Amino acid sequence: MTDKIGVLGTKSPARTGVERVVNAPLPTVYGKFQAVGYLDHDRGDEQVALVYGDIGAENVLTRLHSECLTGDAFGSQHCECGDQLASALRAVVAEGAGVVVYLRGHEGRGIGLLAKLRAMALQAEGLDTVEANLALGLPVDARDYGVAAEMLRDLGVRSVRLLSNNPRKREALQRHGVQVAEEVPLLIPPCENNITYLRTKRERLDHRLPHLDAVAHWS
């Protein structure tokens, strides 16, 4: 953002933090949401929260969904992201109220689309998702959830029931001042293409995925 020059020749301070820009109705196949758009002035990312119903302030059913082009848009079976997004949207509609915060800039746990594709290529050669990131000299998980906490606070949300299998999301939200009253599992049936990826998430990234025990026959 270009600084503006005031009448006395001084620069106005650069904007920081998250700014709500627009609120628009968004009818979807799951239900009619309000799409609340934000601009993250610190990172330059455009973000959106999909709000369903009268969410209130306490114990709001909430999903923090990291952007995943391959899963969300292309239906990739390398991960379970697309199915998780659809399930989260269905869940808040069934609840009657809730929020899905869609976090752009989180592609590939924060390493970006092209780096994620490079990591996927290494996984096809036998590395797991953690080893692939490290082989590329990249962090295992570079995501930051501060912007999500700011968006939730702007929406008036003080505590959430978090749709997630990842305990780090709970820790991050609470560190940023949003209380997590409950963690609600979001378990997607695995397939042969993503079972190794999911097991790595459980064994090396501490995701809570007890349903994987039922598919022990897959190598």
Catalytic residues: 141, 143
**3-class DSSP assignment, residue 115:** helix
Q: Do 54 and 48 contact (CB within 8 A), yes or no?
A: no
Residue 120 neighbours by CB distance under 10 Å: 18
Determine the distance from the C-alpha atom of residue 55 to the mean position of all C-alpha atoms in its chain, rounded to a whole number.
19
Backbone region of residue 57 per phi and psi (left: phi > 0; alpha: psi in -120 to 50; beta: other values): alpha
Is the Cα dihedral 64, 67, 71, 72 positive or negative?
positive
Q: Determine how β-strand 179-184 pairs with β-strand 159-163.
A: parallel
Of the candidates 141, 17, 181, 162, the one whose C-alpha atom is nearest the C-alpha of residue 91 is: 162
**3-class DSSP assignment, residue 162:** strand
